[in-house]
Amino acid sequence: MKITVYGAEVQCASCVGAPSSTETYEWLQSALGRKYPEQSFSFEYIDFEQSEDEFAQALKDDEWFYPLVLLDGEVIDEGVVQLRKVYAAIEAKQGSVNHKE
């Protein structure tokens, strides 16, 4: 499973007091490694101000708040990221993978 975090150096104006994008990225790596030690994750951090892909452009157009967290290319949370939402998305994905086998 691939976790992608889109963020920026400067914190979102609506997210004052929340962890920065890079702190969120590092925190997710640690939390997911502890919660799912048997699951292999790849992590990617993208500075949306330096990227031109569709998610970066959506962030630039204020369609999403950042940090924006994706699981295998699907948005699972934005802004003040909540672990329960991330866990729920991972478990739903694991369930769908287990049902296909």
Radius of gyration of the chain (CA): 14
CATH numbers and ranges of domains, the chain:
2-100 (3.40.30.30)
Neighbours of 99 (CB within 10 A): 7
DSSP helix/strand/coil, 60? helix
Which positions ≥6 away from 75 have C-beta within 8 Å? 55, 64, 68, 69
- Rounded to the nearest 10 degrees, the angle between the axes of helix 21-35 and helix 83-100 is 50
Q: Note whether 3 and 71 are within 8 A (CB).
A: yes
Torsion of CA 30, 23, 58, 12, to 10 degrees: 150
> Can you tell me which residue has the tokens 């031109």?
52
pLDDT at 12: 65
Question: Which pTM value belongs to this model?
Answer: 0.89
> What are the mean pLDDT values of the chain's consecutive 10-residue runs (101 residues total)?
93 73 95 94 97 96 94 95 96 72 42
pLDDT at 97: 58
pLDDT at 17: 76
